[in-house]
Chains A and B, each alone.
Chain A
């Protein structure tokens, strides 16, 4: 049974960039930063492509933001092999409820069998959108999708999907990562799944893929056209760097060390 899968591609700061909080403490300094796709979303796209490679179907990728997010939609998302993209053009503040509402409206129109999202984005680590979306749609949800085999296994090398579609095409089996182990669940379709790091090793966009992505369909919508009010319910009040570690001290000899440990650090 062909599957229609909707995936997300959030644009986030490259984790190798040096992140600095702005002087007002309200956000980070964006100048000079490199951006890339949220790695969890990249895994979601990979899983969707494996599923459609096996069962046929279509992968639609969505991103929300200013025109710069088109960069991540084209590559890696479309360049990896997604069929088409939807860009929700929105500049300005947004929170997880607003994002989930946009995705809900798109799902109502696109009617995918499955939505695969990163379990969280590496920029703000909120990890809420997948659950909100499942709730809003009234769909089943399978968070933290992972797999039993390692990323070095033959199953991984053969690019087999880890999310398994049932024979009747009505549900999926998902292995979830839980504290200290794995849990296998079956979820009826349509469903929302969110990805763990160990779900798969995403492919890279090949150069021919990048060229093909240039002409793949990309539809632009706005929250207004979707009928979504993006007014945030949550505002970021303050951002700070973790406190800097204080420099160590040198002690003259062992008795001095013992003294410090006993009386200052109270470690012994």
Chain B
């Protein structure tokens, strides 16, 4: 499938009521040669990690994995996944890499995040922005694990607001002198390669950030103690301090002053790795839950025979399948060289981290009291999963990012309209010759003159037609919703987080549904409807879920309790909490 690398984001076009089906059809498959490599990787990973199954629990309790095990991971080659073959690595595509993280996450979250922090974000900046000289200098060592990488952006005062970092670097001769502290750095204590972001502008210059490659052999680099965390306890997390560290100018990553762009690009391309990990955990939970449901007998029958247990298992199946569809699709977009995937990658991160949370929570529920016991794997999985809704962009920030970025283009066209063609919507037909593309589509949708103009799929298999129609209708509704919200709030939408969140949820659901439609339709085309009955059922269930959620969100655009909820929050804020104690 050839994708025009410059074609716009799928979701941003949905906001115009357009379905860019060529971006998502047919549903992608891993290339055959890579499939073979991946199968080999998978069976080797199993041989590597299965013998440690008991250790993972112990290392979680202890809050550390032994150095000998990290050495084993290095020998095995797990740090070489993304390094190009020419530099001694596996040169995996995003798709195969994400699939590999699935396998790791099935066994242990801490292992997956140790490898993920190294590859997904630690060394990604080098791959994306490094010069040939920098790559030649570091890639071979990063591939063998002689150097483990980490990503140093977060600071005590700069979490979601990454632009407010205080670490700074000042040019001095051929070097930059780096000072500052970084917080919660995954792999911090075991890393030799640090991708560090520091202010390089004058004081008060908010924008000017530069990315640097810092190595542990530079004087003045120190790390703090291992953090005592809720989950992913065996993975190494520390503070990293830079005290007058002299970094050669040759270690600047990308351009001076363009570090923020470097950071965002790294995070955008790293996000699908988390999605991959989540899918792995969900698959494992489904295996555990089905076994538990069949083994556990209550009231004379295995609990698998009871409706409420079946409801949980069925929902888990749907969640797992649709999440995998979305993650795979975005991985493929990235691998095809498509540039504008930031929103879709953010969607996979938000959806996957929440679907994983639900799935583990329900698997734990199926296990009943056992689920609460440390002897069983559920509580650890739940603790390990929680951070996925927080790190690499909190789901809250990402929701705002998803909706504001996607609406941006609609907004700019609206603004144009507002200034030059005031009142055009009073009479759409008259303005056809002059109004912009957007207005024409809007007019078409509003007046039904152009029936379903761009909100159509043409390449889906007829077997998925009922769900296709729902998707097309919801796409038109999304365009209407975006239009309404933007008209109502204008540029103030930035401050309207309730409204943005609602739109984000609509976009997230629609994108995941699009991915699922693609996956199921392609499966029908390849194997025939008779052999994909279950997949058609998954599509039917998920489409129903999306439709109901979407309609609820849509209705709440104009009818909601937003202001009341805000005022209650303000009340609590004023009085520092709850004020209705009876006694």
Contact = CB atoms under 8 A, between A and B. Distances in A.
Interface of A: 36, 71, 74-76, 79, 204-211, 213-214
Contacts of A208: 77, 80, 88
22 contacts: A36-B43, A71-B36, A71-B39, A71-B40, A74-B36, A74-B40, A75-B40, A75-B43, A75-B44, A76-B43, A76-B44, A79-B40, A204-B48, A204-B76, A205-B44, A205-B47, A207-B41, A207-B77, A210-B44, A210-B90, A211-B85, A214-B37
Contacts of B75: 206
B350 interface: no
The number of chain B residues touching the other chain, given as a range, is 10 to 19
A36 B40 CA distance: 10
Interface string B78-105: 1011000100101000000000000000
A209 B47 CA distance: 14
Given A74-B40, A205-B47, A214-B37, 13 more contacts: A71-B39, A75-B39, A75-B40, A75-B44, A79-B44, A204-B47, A205-B40, A206-B44, A206-B77, A207-B44, A208-B80, A211-B85, A213-B40
B39 to A, nearest CB: 7
Interface in B47-89: 47-48, 75-78, 80-81, 85, 88
B37 A210 contact: yes
A75 B45 CA distance: 13
A207 B43 contact: no
Nearest to B37: A210
Nearest to B33: A214
Contacts of B48: 204
A209 B41 CA distance: 10
B59 to A, nearest CB: 20
Contacts of B85: 211
A211 B43 contact: no
Sorted nearest first, the 3 A-B pairs with minimum C-beta distance are A207-B77, A204-B47, A75-B40
Contacts of B41: 207, 210
Contacts of A79: 40, 44
A79 B48 CA distance: 14
A214 B78 CA distance: 18
B76 A207 contact: yes
Given A75-B44, A76-B43, A207 B78 contact: yes
A211 B90 contact: yes
A76 B43 CA distance: 9
B253 to A, nearest CB: 26
Contacts of A76: 40, 43-44
Nearest to A204: B47
Contacts of A206: 44, 75-77
Contacts of A207: 41, 44, 76-78, 80-81, 90
Interface string B12-38: 000000000000000000000000110
A211 B41 CA distance: 10
Contacts of A209: 77
A17 B329 CA distance: 28
Contacts of A71: 36, 39-40
Interface in B189-222: none
A250 to B, nearest CB: 11
A233 B76 CA distance: 44
Give the one of A36, A209, A211 with max B CB within 10 A: A211
B124 to A, nearest CB: 19
A213 B33 CA distance: 13
A71 B38 CA distance: 11
A71 B35 CA distance: 11
Give the one of B75, B77, B81 with max A CB within 10 A: B77
A211 B88 CA distance: 9
Contacts of B80: 207-208
A42 to B, nearest CB: 10
A200 to B, nearest CB: 14
A239 to B, nearest CB: 24
A70 to B, nearest CB: 9
A204 B37 CA distance: 15
Give the one of A206, A207, A211 with max B CB within 10 A: A207
B34 to A, nearest CB: 11
Contacts of B47: 204-205
A74 B39 CA distance: 11
A135 B41 CA distance: 38
Nearest to B46: A204
Contacts of B90: 207, 210-211
A79 B36 CA distance: 13
B566 to A, nearest CB: 52
B64 to A, nearest CB: 24
A8 B243 CA distance: 59
A204 B73 CA distance: 12
A210 B76 contact: no
Nearest to B531: A31
A75 B39 CA distance: 9
Nearest to A207: B77
A27 to B, nearest CB: 21
A192 B80 CA distance: 39
A94 B78 CA distance: 40
A79 B85 CA distance: 16
Contacts of A204: 44, 47-48, 76
B496 to A, nearest CB: 48
Contacts of B36: 71, 74
B571 to A, nearest CB: 57
Nearest to B78: A207
A114 B379 CA distance: 52
